[in-house]
Amino acid sequence: MKLPNIKILDEKHKILHQKSKDVSFPVSEEYRKLAYDTLTYLKMSQDEVIADKYDLRAGMGMAFVQMGVPIRMFVIANEKDEKNTFDEYIIINPKIISQSEEMVYIGEGEGCLSVNREVEGIVPRHARITLEYYDFEGNKKTMRTREDLAVAFQHEIDHLDGILFVDKIDKKNPYKDQDKM
């Protein structure tokens, strides 16, 4: 498998702090190819041997804006098991339509392929969300996610709104309310 040529913008880039525009249908071949290339890149980044070979940081999801394309689209490659099989998600124009009251955070801390530094603190996220989104053909879909996958979806949706996970960490008290989650 050949590593796709994916250029990931650093957190300092202004475009990452702007709201992305809705995708119009039909989705272009260029965007379809970028979605599949990005899924391949993410899967390769989660393989330790390949990640070492190409000096990749492991990533589970990526919003198109992180690659300089400010549209409301992201992909997630969620490893299902130890056999390198993945659930793949291509999400277009998502909207969270419901969310749990229960809040969670990633114990080892959230990360981001656009944030190339260690970040201390927790990011409060809803434990479960239901979202509406569209597929490549413009068909409306509904999906309910929970736990790690719900966190990943919220992280990527934040990117579409110009928000990075570091923006959600309380600057004065990075572990604020940790005991409530």
Active-site residue list: 156
> Cβ of 114: how many Cβ atoms within 10 Å?
22
What residue ranges in the chain does DSSP mark as E strands?
A: 61-63, 73-79, 86-99, 103-104, 125-126, 128-134, 140-146
Q: Tokens 């434990």 — which residue?
A: 127
| Cα Rg, the chain, nearest whole Å | 16
Distance between CA 28 and CA 140 in Å, rounded? Answer: 18
